[in-house]
Amino acid sequence: MIDFQFDKANGILVVRPESSLEKQDFVELAKAVDPEIEASGDLAGLIIDVARFPGWDSFGAFVSHIRFVNDHHEHVKKIAVVTDSHLGDFAEHLVSHFISAEVRQFPAGQLEQARHWIVGAA
């Protein structure tokens, strides 16, 4: 399950994976984000706030995740991964080669610093 909030004023989607990711999580994210992208253009950023990556509940969920990233990465300018997990290192160094967004890791608890980086205040 993914908890998410959309900061419309700054164009930032904050996601918090809470348990193994499911196919429906990405359907719900798309329902929230797609109308905003259509109405306002690209998102300023995505913040992934996660203590540890919970994985996927099925191969179908993994495929849905990849499809969501593929369909949306060109519409996100910056991605901040807020974690002390090795997921952050992975995202910052490997994933950045496959997506157009700038990726940066922040230590756990630095959600506001990540937000400031996205809006250009840091």
Query: Which phi and psi (to 5°) does residue 55 adopt?
Result: 80, -170
Helix (H) or strand (E) holding 117: helix 111-119
Q: Are 3 and 15 in contact (CB under 8 A)?
A: yes
What are 43-92's pLDDT values in tens digits? 999 999 988 778 889 999 888 888 888 888 888 889 898 988 765 455 55
Residue 32 has pLDDT above 80, yes or no: yes
What pLDDT score does 98 carry? 59
Task: Give residue 59's domain range.
Answer: 2-119
CATH number for the domain harbouring residue 58: 3.30.750
Q: Identify which of 81, 71, 21 has the alpha carbon closest to the alpha carbon of residue 45.
A: 81
How many separate domains does the chain show?
Answer: 1
Residue 36 has pLDDT above 80, yes or no: yes
